[in-house]
Amino acid sequence: MKPNAIPDKEKAETRARIVDLKRNSLDDGPGIRTLIFFKGCPLRCVWCHNPETKHTYEELMFDAKVCISCGDCAASCKEHAIDPADPRRIDRQACTRCMDCVDVCPSGALKRAGRLYTVDALYSEIMKDEPFYRYSSGGVTFSGGEPAVYIHFISELSRKLKSAGIHLNIETCGLYNHALFDNLVLPYLDMIFFDIKFIDPVLHKQYTGSTNDIIMKNFLSLHSKNNIPLIPRVPLIPGITATEQNLASIAAFLSGHGIKKVELLAYNPLWTDKSSGLGHKLDYDRKKFMDKEEIVMIKQIFSNFDTGKF
Ligand code: SF4
Ligand code: SF4
pLDDT digits (tens, 9 = 90+) for 159-180: 999 999 999 999 999 999 999 9
Per-residue model confidence (pLDDT) at position 160: 97
Q: How far is the CA of 71 from the centre of ligand 2 (A)?
A: 6
The contacts of residue 202 (CB under 8 Å, 6+ apart) are none
Average pLDDT over residues 65-85: 95
Instruction: State the average pLDDT over residues 39-61.
Output: 96
Output DSSP code: residue 305: S
User: Which ligand 1 atom minimizes the distance to the CA of 82?
Assistant: 5
* CA triple 114-22-138, angle to 5 deg: 135
Q: What would the mean pLDDT of 81-100 be, rounded to a whole number?
A: 93
How would residue 11 be classed by pLDDT, with cut points 50, 70 and 90? low
Ligand 2 atom 2, closest CA: 105
**From ligand 2's centre to the CA of 106, what distance in Å?**
7
pLDDT of 6 higher than 80: no
Whether residue 91 has its Cβ less than 6 Å from ligand 1: no
Cβ-based neighbours of 79, under 8 Å, separated by 6 or more: 94, 95, 96, 98
HSE at residue 190, side-chain half, CA atoms within 13 A, is 18
- Residue 53 reports pLDDT greater than 90: yes
Architecture of domain 8-57+114-301: Alpha-Beta Barrel (3.20)
- Asked if pLDDT for residue 20 goes beyond 90, the answer is yes
Say if residue 10's pLDDT is above 80. no
Lowest mean pLDDT among 77-91, 131-145, 146-160, 241-255: 77-91
Task: Please say if the pLDDT value at position 300 is more than 60.
Answer: yes
Residue 7: the pLDDT is 52
Residue 243: band (very low, low, confident or very high) from pLDDT cuts 50, 70, 90? very high
40 CA from centroid of ligand 1 (Å): 22
Residue 4 has pLDDT above 80, yes or no: no
CA of 113 to the centre of ligand 1 (A): 13
Q: Which ligand is nearest to the CA of 85?
A: 2
Rounded to 5 degrees, φ, ψ at 164 are -90, 5
Q: Residue 86: exposed, middle, or buried by beta-carbon count in 10 A (0-12, 13-18, 19+)?
A: exposed
Q: Give me the chain's average pLDDT, please.
A: 94
Confidence of residue 185 (pLDDT cuts 50, 70, 90): very high
Task: Return d(Cα 231, Cα 217) in angstroms, integer.
Answer: 15
pLDDT confidence band for 309 (50 / 70 / 90):
confident
User: Nearest C-alpha to atom 8 of ligand 1 is from which residue?
Assistant: 77
Q: What is the CATH number of domain 60-112?
A: 3.30.70.20
Identical fold, 8-57+114-301 and 60-112 = no
Which sequence spans correspond to the domains of the chain?
A: 8-57+114-301, 60-112
pLDDT at residue 1 greater than cutoff 50: no
Mutate to test the pocket of ligand 1, among 73, 79, 92 (most ligand atoms within 8 A of CB): 79
